[in-house]
Amino acid sequence: MTPRICLIGATGFVGKGIICAAHEAKNAELFLTSRKTGQIKDFLQENNYNFKTIELGDIKSTQFDIIFNAAGVCDPKVILENPELLFKSHQDVDDLIMENLKDFPKTLYFNLSSGAVYGSEFLEPAPKEIDWNIPSELEEISGDPASMYSKTKIFFEKKHREQERLNIVDVRLFSIFHRHLNIGAHYFLSQLMDSLKKKEVFVTSTQDIVKDYVHPMDLLNLAILLSQKDHINCALDLCSAAPVKKSEMIEYFELNHHLKVEYKEMEFKGTKVNYYSTAKDAQKLGFSPQGSSLECIAKEMEHLGF
């Protein structure tokens, strides 16, 4: 039976990737919502995606097999200027979904968490110790934007484990890549793609890093797989078949897309040198990733026209 999936946060980067994956896989009946329904409809029309939209207020009384929560402020600039938006964007949606689960307790709540729960230092990959000692109230969370974002994700993971009778999975996403990326954003591949688009030299540091990019299909397939479990309440690290070094990504773009690169000595505060996880909990539950990070990147690059 084709699962009915409500996707909250459909205008965001992850949300757009899920829409694209569902369109190609044709394995889900998708209902899309966000605070900006008009933007969803524009995105669907621009890309010839045929899915239904639903108003946020109607979710409470509508039954789904899966509620996929990809909503929430994550932009460091926004968090710094308006930290209350970070809390409100997460709390409002979580409350809405919890109300839905009161009437439909068998629904899977598939919540997008983050590798940021492990902190900002990634000299070694996850899994590693998580600091669960955070304030009991969202409004009491403080610190720099990265710390506040991390603690907010931890806050909701703790809350969800306390609802052990409900089907809730917090999926810790490290990095994701797909054809609808925001070119020019502050993320590594967004900046690289901006240089490709403008045919400019890509300037980067000499420091090598390791990241793990999953394909949106991995998120969709994992959600569908877990919805078929009789009961599940846990947090999972989502991993591709293999992470990728920055140097390997640059070599790929040089060979396949004629990227020109200039290296400079730069110092970055809090650089995540090994931002990936070695955990295999999802695979133990029957999940198989689409491929390695580099294979994911190459697959989506076929659709970007560079």
What would the pLDDT profile of 20-53 be if each residue is shown by its tens digit? 999 999 999 999 998 888 899 999 999 999 999 9
Does position 169 have pLDDT exceeding 90, yes or no? yes
Is 252 among the domain residues?
no
Is 14 among the domain residues?
yes
Is 302 among the domain residues?
no
**Number of domains within the chain:** 1
For residue 218, the enclosing domain spans 4-180+213-240+277-291
User: Phi/psi class of residue 47: alpha, beta or left (left: φ > 0; alpha: ψ in -120 to 50)?
Assistant: alpha
Is 68 among the domain residues?
yes
Give the domain CATH number at 20. 3.40.50.720
Is 32 among the domain residues?
yes
Does position 262 have pLDDT exceeding 80, yes or no? yes
Is 110 among the domain residues?
yes
Is 132 among the domain residues?
yes
What would the pLDDT profile of 231-247 be if each residue is shown by its tens digit? 999 999 999 999 999 99
**Cα 98 to chain center, whole Å?**
21
Residues 6+ apart with CB under 8 A from 202: 191, 192, 195, 196, 250, 259, 260, 261, 262
**Cα 269 to chain center, whole Å?**
23
Is 58 among the domain residues?
yes
Position 153 confidence tier, pLDDT thresholds 50, 70, 90: very high
